[in-house]
Structure 1
Protein backbone atom coordinates (compact mmCIF):
# COMPACT_ATOMS: atom_id res chain seq x y z
CA UNK A 1 0.00 0.00 0.00
CA UNK A 2 1.42 3.38 -0.94
CA UNK A 3 1.33 6.40 1.36
CA UNK A 4 -1.33 8.15 -0.75
CA UNK A 5 -3.69 5.19 -0.29
CA UNK A 6 -3.11 5.23 3.48
CA UNK A 7 -3.87 8.95 3.75
CA UNK A 8 -7.10 8.38 1.86
CA UNK A 9 -8.73 6.29 4.57
CA UNK A 10 -11.84 7.62 6.30
CA UNK A 11 -11.11 8.65 9.88
CA UNK A 12 -14.70 8.64 11.20
CA UNK A 13 -17.29 5.88 11.48
CA UNK A 14 -20.08 8.31 10.61
CA UNK A 15 -18.84 9.15 7.11
CA UNK A 16 -21.73 7.31 5.41
CA UNK A 17 -24.52 9.17 7.25
CA UNK A 18 -22.71 12.51 6.77
CA UNK A 19 -22.33 11.79 3.05
CA UNK A 20 -26.05 10.93 2.77
CA UNK A 21 -26.83 14.34 4.33
CA UNK A 22 -24.90 16.00 1.50
CA UNK A 23 -21.79 16.99 3.46
CA UNK A 24 -19.44 15.82 0.67
CA UNK A 25 -20.63 18.85 -1.32
CA UNK A 26 -21.61 21.31 1.43
CA UNK A 27 -18.68 20.67 3.82
CA UNK A 28 -15.90 19.70 1.42
CA UNK A 29 -12.95 20.83 3.55
CA UNK A 30 -14.20 18.95 6.61
CA UNK A 31 -15.04 15.83 4.60
CA UNK A 32 -11.69 15.94 2.73
CA UNK A 33 -9.99 15.83 6.13
CA UNK A 34 -12.20 13.15 7.75
CA UNK A 35 -13.94 11.14 5.01
CA UNK A 36 -11.88 11.47 1.80
CA UNK A 37 -12.53 7.91 0.61
CA UNK A 38 -16.33 8.05 1.05
CA UNK A 39 -16.54 11.44 -0.73
CA UNK A 40 -14.09 10.51 -3.50
CA UNK A 41 -11.81 13.43 -2.54
CA UNK A 42 -8.59 11.42 -2.27
CA UNK A 43 -6.80 12.95 -5.20
CA UNK A 44 -8.20 16.47 -5.01
CA UNK A 45 -5.74 18.84 -3.30
CA UNK A 46 -7.07 20.40 -0.10
CA UNK A 47 -6.40 23.90 -1.46
CA UNK A 48 -8.94 23.22 -4.22
CA UNK A 49 -11.73 22.75 -1.68
CA UNK A 50 -10.87 25.56 0.75
CA UNK A 51 -12.03 29.14 0.43
CA UNK A 52 -9.81 31.49 2.43
CA UNK A 53 -11.45 33.56 5.14
CA UNK A 54 -9.92 36.90 6.08
CA UNK A 55 -8.31 36.88 9.49
CA UNK A 56 -10.54 39.17 11.53
CA UNK A 57 -9.16 41.16 14.44
CA UNK A 58 -11.93 39.75 16.66
CA UNK A 59 -11.09 36.10 17.25
CA UNK A 60 -12.20 34.09 20.29
CA UNK A 61 -11.54 30.47 21.27
CA UNK A 62 -14.28 28.58 23.10
CA UNK A 63 -13.70 25.23 24.78
CA UNK A 64 -17.09 23.55 25.15
CA UNK A 65 -18.30 20.16 26.38
CA UNK A 66 -19.68 17.70 23.84
CA UNK A 67 -23.42 18.15 23.30
CA UNK A 68 -23.59 21.77 24.48
CA UNK A 69 -25.55 24.16 22.25
CA UNK A 70 -23.36 27.15 21.35
CA UNK A 71 -24.92 30.32 19.99
CA UNK A 72 -23.42 33.21 18.06
CA UNK A 73 -24.90 36.58 17.05
CA UNK A 74 -23.44 38.65 14.24
CA UNK A 75 -23.70 42.43 14.51
CA UNK A 76 -25.64 44.59 16.94
CA UNK A 77 -29.31 45.39 17.37
CA UNK A 78 -28.61 49.13 17.28
CA UNK A 79 -28.28 49.46 13.50
CA UNK A 80 -31.07 51.34 11.64
CA UNK A 81 -31.29 48.79 8.86
CA UNK A 82 -30.46 45.12 9.40
CA UNK A 83 -27.08 44.30 7.85
CA UNK A 84 -26.48 41.51 5.36
CA UNK A 85 -24.72 38.73 7.24
CA UNK A 86 -22.85 35.71 5.92
CA UNK A 87 -21.57 32.80 8.00
CA UNK A 88 -18.56 30.57 7.31
CA UNK A 89 -17.10 27.46 8.90
CA UNK A 90 -13.43 26.77 8.24
CA UNK A 91 -13.59 29.08 5.23
CA UNK A 92 -16.67 27.48 3.63
CA UNK A 93 -19.89 29.49 3.54
CA UNK A 94 -22.79 28.04 5.52
CA UNK A 95 -25.79 28.41 3.24
CA UNK A 96 -28.46 26.57 5.21
CA UNK A 97 -29.20 24.84 8.50
CA UNK A 98 -28.18 21.20 8.90
CA UNK A 99 -30.76 19.37 11.07
CA UNK A 100 -29.22 18.09 14.29
CA UNK A 101 -25.96 20.01 13.75
CA UNK A 102 -26.35 23.68 12.75
CA UNK A 103 -29.26 26.16 12.97
CA UNK A 104 -28.84 29.29 10.85
CA UNK A 105 -31.36 32.12 11.20
CA UNK A 106 -30.58 35.68 10.08
CA UNK A 107 -27.85 37.07 12.37
CA UNK A 108 -27.91 34.03 14.68
CA UNK A 109 -26.09 30.72 14.39
CA UNK A 110 -26.44 27.79 16.83
CA UNK A 111 -24.40 24.62 16.77
CA UNK A 112 -24.30 21.45 18.84
CA UNK A 113 -20.74 20.83 20.03
CA UNK A 114 -19.38 17.63 18.48
CA UNK A 115 -16.51 16.51 16.23
CA UNK A 116 -18.35 17.61 13.09
CA UNK A 117 -18.89 21.14 14.40
CA UNK A 118 -15.39 21.74 15.78
CA UNK A 119 -13.64 24.47 13.81
CA UNK A 120 -13.54 28.20 13.14
CA UNK A 121 -16.83 30.06 12.60
CA UNK A 122 -16.72 33.48 11.00
CA UNK A 123 -19.49 36.00 10.61
CA UNK A 124 -19.14 38.80 8.06
CA UNK A 125 -21.31 41.91 7.99
CA UNK A 126 -21.82 43.45 4.55
CA UNK A 127 -23.09 46.92 3.72
CA UNK A 128 -23.45 48.09 0.12
CA UNK A 129 -21.39 45.12 -1.09
CA UNK A 130 -18.43 45.80 1.23
CA UNK A 131 -17.38 43.70 4.24
CA UNK A 132 -17.57 46.16 7.13
CA UNK A 133 -16.68 43.79 9.96
CA UNK A 134 -15.96 40.17 10.75
CA UNK A 135 -15.78 38.11 13.92
CA UNK A 136 -14.49 34.58 14.38
CA UNK A 137 -14.83 31.94 17.04
CA UNK A 138 -12.83 28.73 17.25
CA UNK A 139 -14.89 25.94 18.78
CA UNK A 140 -12.95 23.12 20.42
CA UNK A 141 -14.34 20.22 22.44
CA UNK A 142 -13.27 20.00 26.05
CA UNK A 143 -11.49 16.71 26.73
CA UNK A 144 -13.92 14.29 28.32
CA UNK A 145 -13.13 13.36 31.91
CA UNK A 146 -12.87 9.63 32.59
CA UNK A 147 -15.74 8.46 34.78
CA UNK A 148 -14.88 6.95 38.15
CA UNK A 149 -16.92 3.76 38.04
Structure 2
Protein backbone atom coordinates (compact mmCIF):
# COMPACT_ATOMS: atom_id res chain seq x y z
CA UNK A 1 0.00 0.00 0.00
CA UNK A 2 1.28 3.46 -0.92
CA UNK A 3 -0.02 6.49 0.97
CA UNK A 4 -0.13 9.86 -0.80
CA UNK A 5 -1.10 12.67 1.55
CA UNK A 6 -0.88 16.36 2.27
CA UNK A 7 0.08 15.68 5.87
CA UNK A 8 3.56 14.40 6.61
CA UNK A 9 3.23 14.32 10.37
CA UNK A 10 5.26 11.60 12.04
CA UNK A 11 2.16 10.18 13.71
CA UNK A 12 0.49 9.72 10.31
CA UNK A 13 3.57 8.00 8.97
CA UNK A 14 3.71 5.66 11.97
CA UNK A 15 0.00 4.89 11.72
CA UNK A 16 0.28 4.18 7.98
CA UNK A 17 3.24 1.88 8.51
CA UNK A 18 1.46 0.15 11.40
CA UNK A 19 -1.46 -0.79 9.16
CA UNK A 20 0.78 -2.17 6.44
CA UNK A 21 1.77 0.72 4.18
CA UNK A 22 5.07 0.22 2.40
CA UNK A 23 5.18 3.69 0.92
CA UNK A 24 4.45 7.19 2.11
CA UNK A 25 4.70 10.21 -0.17
CA UNK A 26 3.64 13.80 0.23
CA UNK A 27 1.24 15.48 -2.14
CA UNK A 28 4.00 17.64 -3.64
CA UNK A 29 5.75 14.57 -5.09
CA UNK A 30 6.39 14.89 -8.80
CA UNK A 31 4.82 12.50 -11.27
CA UNK A 32 8.14 10.65 -11.85
CA UNK A 33 8.58 10.30 -8.05
CA UNK A 34 5.04 8.95 -7.71
CA UNK A 35 5.52 6.53 -10.59
CA UNK A 36 8.82 5.34 -9.09
CA UNK A 37 7.19 4.87 -5.67
CA UNK A 38 4.36 2.82 -7.20
CA UNK A 39 6.87 0.53 -8.90
CA UNK A 40 8.99 0.20 -5.75
CA UNK A 41 6.01 -0.69 -3.54
CA UNK A 42 4.57 -3.04 -6.19
CA UNK A 43 7.92 -4.86 -6.18
CA UNK A 44 7.54 -5.47 -2.44
CA UNK A 45 10.00 -2.82 -1.30
CA UNK A 46 9.55 0.31 0.79
CA UNK A 47 9.54 3.96 -0.21
CA UNK A 48 9.29 7.05 1.97
CA UNK A 49 9.42 10.68 0.93
CA UNK A 50 12.99 11.93 1.42
CA UNK A 51 11.96 14.60 3.95
CA UNK A 52 10.11 11.99 6.01
CA UNK A 53 13.09 9.66 5.88
CA UNK A 54 15.35 12.48 7.09
CA UNK A 55 13.01 13.32 9.98
CA UNK A 56 12.75 9.67 11.01
CA UNK A 57 16.53 9.31 10.97
CA UNK A 58 16.96 12.48 13.05
CA UNK A 59 14.31 11.33 15.52
CA UNK A 60 15.88 7.88 15.75
CA UNK A 61 19.27 9.38 16.53
CA UNK A 62 17.86 11.52 19.32
CA UNK A 63 15.49 8.95 20.81
CA UNK A 64 17.65 5.88 20.54
CA UNK A 65 18.43 4.59 24.00
CA UNK A 66 22.04 4.66 25.06
CA UNK A 67 23.73 1.28 24.70
CA UNK A 68 24.14 -0.61 27.94
CA UNK A 69 27.51 -0.11 29.55
CA UNK A 70 30.12 -2.61 28.51
CA UNK A 71 31.08 -5.08 31.19
CA UNK A 72 34.50 -4.43 32.61
CA UNK A 73 37.05 -6.33 30.58
CA UNK A 74 39.12 -8.83 32.52
CA UNK A 75 42.86 -8.34 32.49
CA UNK A 76 44.30 -10.78 30.00
CA UNK A 77 47.98 -11.39 29.66
CA UNK A 78 49.64 -10.63 26.34
CA UNK A 79 49.81 -14.37 25.57
CA UNK A 80 46.15 -14.91 26.52
CA UNK A 81 45.18 -12.08 24.19
CA UNK A 82 47.21 -13.65 21.37
CA UNK A 83 45.52 -17.00 21.97
CA UNK A 84 42.09 -15.34 22.08
CA UNK A 85 42.70 -13.61 18.75
CA UNK A 86 43.71 -16.91 17.17
CA UNK A 87 40.69 -18.67 18.64
CA UNK A 88 38.50 -15.90 17.23
CA UNK A 89 40.04 -16.47 13.80
CA UNK A 90 39.03 -20.12 14.00
CA UNK A 91 42.42 -21.72 14.62
CA UNK A 92 42.59 -25.13 16.30
CA UNK A 93 44.71 -25.78 19.38
CA UNK A 94 47.37 -27.46 17.20
CA UNK A 95 47.46 -24.47 14.85
CA UNK A 96 47.73 -22.04 17.76
CA UNK A 97 50.53 -24.09 19.31
CA UNK A 98 52.43 -24.14 16.03
CA UNK A 99 51.94 -20.45 15.37
CA UNK A 100 53.02 -19.39 18.87
CA UNK A 101 55.68 -22.10 19.16
CA UNK A 102 54.23 -23.49 22.38
CA UNK A 103 52.91 -26.93 23.29
CA UNK A 104 49.35 -28.07 22.81
CA UNK A 105 49.11 -28.47 26.59
CA UNK A 106 50.10 -24.81 27.07
CA UNK A 107 47.45 -23.72 24.57
CA UNK A 108 44.83 -25.67 26.54
CA UNK A 109 46.00 -24.00 29.75
CA UNK A 110 45.68 -20.54 28.17
CA UNK A 111 42.23 -21.36 26.81
CA UNK A 112 41.03 -22.64 30.19
CA UNK A 113 42.27 -19.41 31.81
CA UNK A 114 40.53 -17.40 29.09
CA UNK A 115 37.27 -19.24 29.75
CA UNK A 116 37.56 -18.51 33.47
CA UNK A 117 38.43 -14.83 33.01
CA UNK A 118 35.80 -14.24 30.33
CA UNK A 119 33.10 -16.30 32.04
CA UNK A 120 32.82 -18.48 28.95
CA UNK A 121 32.05 -22.20 28.81
CA UNK A 122 33.21 -22.75 25.23
CA UNK A 123 35.12 -21.19 22.35
CA UNK A 124 32.04 -19.53 20.87
CA UNK A 125 31.28 -17.73 24.12
CA UNK A 126 34.93 -16.71 24.42
CA UNK A 127 34.81 -15.14 20.96
CA UNK A 128 31.58 -13.30 21.82
CA UNK A 129 33.13 -12.02 25.04
CA UNK A 130 36.21 -10.91 23.11
CA UNK A 131 34.01 -8.77 20.86
CA UNK A 132 31.97 -7.44 23.77
CA UNK A 133 35.10 -6.45 25.69
CA UNK A 134 36.62 -5.05 22.49
CA UNK A 135 39.70 -7.21 22.54
CA UNK A 136 38.92 -7.79 18.88
CA UNK A 137 36.87 -5.93 16.29
CA UNK A 138 35.25 -7.14 13.08
CA UNK A 139 37.82 -7.58 10.35
CA UNK A 140 40.74 -7.76 12.76
Higher Rg: 2
Structure possessing the higher relative contact order (Cα contacts under 8 Å, 6 or more residues apart): 1
Question: Where is the helix percentage greater, Structure 1 or Structure 2?
Answer: 2
Q: Same fold (TM over 0.5)?
A: no
TM-score relative to the length of structure 2: 0.25
Question: Where is the strand percentage greater, Structure 1 or Structure 2?
Answer: 1
